[in-house]
Amino acid sequence: MNPVHELVESSLKALGIAPKDLDVPVHHYGKLDTKKDKIKGEEYYVLGRKKLEETGENAAALRELAIQAGGLQKFDEALGLWQRALPLITDQETAYLNMASLYLQMDRFSEALAVSRKAFERKPGLKEAVCNNALCELYAGDVERAVRGLEKLLAAEPEYPSARIMLAIAYLFQGNKEKGIAQFLRLRIMSSNLAEAILPFARKLAGAGRPEYALLLLDAAIEQRAVNDEILALRRECAGLVAHPISPAVL
């Protein structure tokens, strides 16, 4: 019944078939073939535009196309679609969360912070909203505010790696190295590759005009032996941006 994001519920209902729960595991391995996934994404994008043209200002069609456009890095278009969807949906926090993610990818940090706060205000108990808002606070806002939110979230969700990485970063920014390192030690148990987990945060901090914060994170990672060539290269780059002497230990 839909060209994309097909659902079987309406067909089952029309046939008088009641859905049942089955004790059958389903393994979803995500996107394993990048080239094939990009082609599929472009095809879904075209179908999504057609669906929107046919249905008009339809909340589901706007949401689907916004997600597809964002995945293809059509950021401005995706933001416009989420703006159009906002008055039509009840879970506006979803739109705000997605918009914050798009703004972050565009390095528009103040705008990311503004919409992430809107998501958090609407659903302060939603862990994705807490985590997203804390991330934006670290890049462009109030570190103390980020710490409070993350500590509360991890008290309820202790096995949430992204939140724990962000809390480690926030503690370092506060000058509380001991607490930051303690979070890294917890993360070592949870992550098989701590260096890879840290890199995106350090890169984004450097891009947000906070290379001194990126340095704090990278130096702590190196101290904990969470290091690879990319960590060292980024460390040298950030050191140059803040005229920070490079320790011989990391050359």
Answer whether residue 181 is part of any domain: no
Band of pLDDT at residue 19, cut at 50, 70 and 90: confident
What the block records as the tokens of 52 is: 């929107």
Based on the structure, what is the number of domains in the chain?
A: 1
Q: What is the pLDDT of residue 23?
A: 84
Maximum mean pLDDT: which of 13-17, 58-62, 77-81: 77-81
Answer whether residue 47 is part of any domain: no
Ramachandran area for residue 209 (φ above 0: left; ψ -120 to 50: alpha; else beta): left
58 in Cβ contact with 52 (< 8 Å): yes
Q: What is the pLDDT of residue 247?
A: 44
Q: List pLDDT tens digits, range 183-237.
A: 988 888 776 688 888 898 899 888 888 888 899 899 988 988 889 999 999 999 9
CA–CA gap between residue 188 and residue 45 (Å, rounded): 39
Backbone φ, ψ for residue 224 (5° rounding):
-90, 10
Answer whether residue 250 is part of any domain: yes
**Residue, of 34 and 214, whose pLDDT is higher:** 214
**Position 11 pLDDT exceeds 60:** yes
Q: What is the pLDDT of residue 6?
A: 61
Mean pLDDT of 52-67: 92
Answer whether residue 198 is part of any domain: yes
**Position 4 pLDDT exceeds 70:** no
Answer whether residue 118 is part of any domain: no
Answer whether residue 141 is part of any domain: no
Cβ count within 10 A of residue 154: 20
Band of pLDDT at residue 144, cut at 50, 70 and 90: very high
Answer whether residue 104 is part of any domain: no
**Position 5 pLDDT exceeds 80:** no
Q: What is the pLDDT of residue 250?
A: 40
Q: What is the mean pLDDT of the chain?
A: 86
Domain hosting residue 251, numbered range = 192-251
CA–CA gap between residue 199 and residue 243 (Å, rounded): 21
Q: What is the pLDDT of residue 245?
A: 46
Q: Tell me the whole-structure pTM to 2 decimals.
A: 0.76
Q: What is the pLDDT of residue 232?
A: 95
Q: List pLDDT tens digits, range 35-50.
A: 777 777 788 899 999 9
- Which residues, other chains included, contact 159 with Cβ-Cβ below 8 Å and sequence gap of 6+? 190
Q: What is the pLDDT of residue 198?
A: 87
Answer whether residue 109 is part of any domain: no
Mean pLDDT of 113-138: 90
Backbone φ, ψ for residue 125 (5° rounding):
-90, -5
